[in-house]
Amino acid sequence: MSTVVATRGYRALLALAAPIAGIQLAQVALTSVDLAMLGLLGVTAVAAGGLAILLYNQIRTMCVGMVTGVGNLVATAAGAGELRTGTDELDNRAREEIRSLLRSALLVATLTATIGAAVLCGLATALPLLGQKPEIVSLAGAMMFALAGGLFPMVWLNVLRQFAVGLRRPGSLLAVTCVSIAVNAALDAAFVYGWAGLPELGVTGIGLATTLVQFFTLAVFASAVRRDPRLRPMVSLALWRADPAVVRHILRHGTPICFTYGSEAAITSIATVLMGAFGPAMLAASNVANQLAYIVYQVNIGLSQGSSLLVSRAVAHGERRRTSAIARQALTLSWGFMAVVSLGYLVVPQVLLWPFLHGEADAMVLGTASTLLLFAIAQQYSKGTQNILVGLLRGLGDTASGLRCTLVGYWMVGMPAMVLCAHVFAWGGWGVWTGLCLGFAATAVLLGRRLAR
């Protein structure tokens, strides 16, 4: 591959991945702001709120997974339309196909959010059965109930997002989401301190603020999509006109992605539950280290989705051979970025942790979290790599392999390793993170072998 062609490939990938990563980072900033505000309420609030956020992210991730493939379906339809016209313009057949995809995806999103909200509320009531301490159960459960309603606007927002990025128009959501961060921070503070006549709801108020912001973000982005001259002709919010055949197609495509994402989030959630057995300080440290690693992970999600959409479009154009080059470029960018972040973990860990942990009472938690960042280095390489590989396979239309590989890597390697290292080898919380890293690494190896075939 010539240098000029390679450079063009990197630019095309970054043009898609950078806005998506920015959107992901802005979305995570919502819960990061929540965690930082929880830090003002003490270690118990961080432990309980962090647990609620992690379980919410488990359900949120599965809901998002159900509609993530819509971006690939839109990109494929658009690529086929471009191939027929011989230009960057779409024909009427492609436009109608994309309109049908959007309507059907919104119906799938509504059903998915309904199930997700019910499951999250069920988990909130089941917290005492998971071995959590009473003070953690009370605070975390209330926050989870407050977060449940936000799943509906969140999944609808992700459908509109996949519609936009599938048509290579991701930019507007980034600005909208950045504004929502400021709104979320203001509402968090208002509910924590009782500003503007609002009640002082503490941990519960932080969850409620996030839900209200999800509705705000959806309303603003939907308005922006309708104003976009390229997107507006293909916008159809009439989900009652959804084509049953298209709904079934989205479900067949999205279900393996949903469970792949869910499997990934579940092993992290289970690790958090296991960490809770070693006390509030260890749980709080793990929550904070996890949140930092999760922030870094969003860049890999951007690269994964960007490369996935490029592969879908390449396949639609009859250029499947470009998959290898796109894979190399995505992994090179990912590993380079993670090397820079890892250096920060090693050199200035306390600076990175400071926004989440304040005051002398957090000294023990800060020290533990600093050590856990060393484990986070291994986690972010293995987890980031496997996410990019899942995206590449999704671009090729293979969503089942990702699920099979994660089931083996997480549940046949990672889960037993966490239990063995934490309890049999008596490594405690350090053992939980060791097993978690082994699970992600095993999954990355399996996915790499599958893609190489």
| Distance (Å, whole) CA 99 – CA 238 | 10
360 pLDDT more than 60: no
| Distance (Å, whole) CA 83 – CA 285 | 52
| Distance (Å, whole) CA 387 – CA 260 | 10
User: Which residues, including other chains, have CB under 8 Å from residue 354's CB and lie 6 or more apart?
Assistant: none
E strand or H helix at 219, and its extent? helix 202-227
In tens, the pLDDT along 408-436 reads 999 999 999 999 999 899 898 899 999 99
Closest CA to 356 of 135, 21, 49, 25: 49
Closest CA to 324 of 383, 272, 262, 392: 392
Q: What integer pLDDT is reported at residue 120 of this predicted model?
A: 95
| Distance (Å, whole) CA 103 – CA 110 | 11
Q: Residue 38 burial (CB < 10 Å; 0-12/13-18/19+)?
A: buried
In tens, the pLDDT along 210-219 reads 999 999 989 9
335 pLDDT more than 90: yes
Amino acid at site 208: L
Q: Residue 29 burial (CB < 10 Å; 0-12/13-18/19+)?
A: buried
Cβ 301 vs Cβ 24: under 8 Å: yes
How many other C-beta atoms can be found within 10 angstroms of the C-beta atom of residue 245?
Answer: 10
| Distance (Å, whole) CA 47 – CA 284 | 5
| Distance (Å, whole) CA 424 – CA 429 | 12
Length of the chain: 453
How many other C-beta atoms can be found within 10 angstroms of the C-beta atom of residue 248?
Answer: 12
Amino acid at site 103: R
Please give the full DSSP string across 353-415, using - where no structure is assigned. HTTT--SGGGHHHHHHHHHHHHHHHHHHHHHHHHHHHHHHHHHTT--HHHHHHHHHIIIIIIH
Q: Residue 326 burial (CB < 10 Å; 0-12/13-18/19+)?
A: buried
In tens, the pLDDT along 305-331 reads 999 999 998 888 888 888 888 999 999
The model's confidence at residue 361, banded by pLDDT at 50, 70 and 90, is: very low
Q: Which two tokens stand for residue 199?
A: 């009640």
In tens, the pLDDT along 145-174 reads 999 999 999 999 999 989 988 888 876 677
